Amino acid sequence: MKVLLVNGSPRRNGNTDRALREIADALHQQGVETEIFWIGTSPVRGCAACNACRSKKLGRCVFDDDVANRLVDKLADADGIVLGSPTYYGQPAGQLLAVWQRVCYSASHLIGGKVAAAVAVARRGGATAAFQTLNMPFEMLNCVLIGSQYWNIVFGSRAGECALDAEGMQTMRTLGRNMAWVVKNLARDGAIPRTGTEPWQPTNFIR
């Protein structure tokens, strides 16, 4: 069993990383393997709406000049996903959104139905809006969302400062334990299989 934690912050060792490592430690204690994947600071593309990934059945983005497809490759082996981001202007980091939207569209088969959680980090405010934005793709892809004792949010400004947010760190540990419990139960022999989803019925209101 493995959980992939995605660090969407441009600061590799900042507060987002610290929050994800708190979750990872809790997962390790429950016998679940983890990997933290950093989006990095190199330029990334937004989705060009070319639809080549779907029309050519690539299972990945047609543009292979940034980190997006490396993330797709990591998702293949993941039983669970944690998406973490700092909060900028009440939103997740732009580079994470650009990459994640392409990954969700081109490789939805590697995300759909998996155990998932989002984590937002903020200096002061806007984290609930960022948290909601991070969760919405998971909700559209039939993921099993993992909660905690509070919204999955921690506070901190300087690197590592979020460790002083005692309740926030506790929330991360509880999230990790909750995720481990769900992943292990889904993997056990005799687990009740999920029923299939219905065929999509897109309904557009402007005709």
pLDDT tens digit string along 125-177?
999 999 999 999 999 999 999 999 999 999 999 999 999 999 999 999 999 99
Tell me which architecture the domain covering 2-187 has in CATH.
3-Layer(aba) Sandwich (3.40)
State the distance between the two ends of the chain, measured CA to CA, in whole angstroms. Answer: 46
Q: Is the dihedral of CA 99, 100, 105, 109 positive or negative?
A: positive
CA–CA separation, 79 and 5 (whole Å): 11
- 32-69 pLDDT tens trace: 999 999 999 999 999 999 999 999 999 999 999 999 99
Q: What is the pTM of this model?
A: 0.96
Distance CA 148, CA 70 (A): 29
The conformational region for residue 40 under phi > 0 = left, psi -120 to 50 = alpha, else beta, is left
Average pLDDT on 80-93 reads 98
Q: Could you tell me what percent of the chain has a pLDDT over 70? A: 100
Domain boundaries, the chain: 2-187
Q: What is the mean pLDDT of the chain?
A: 96
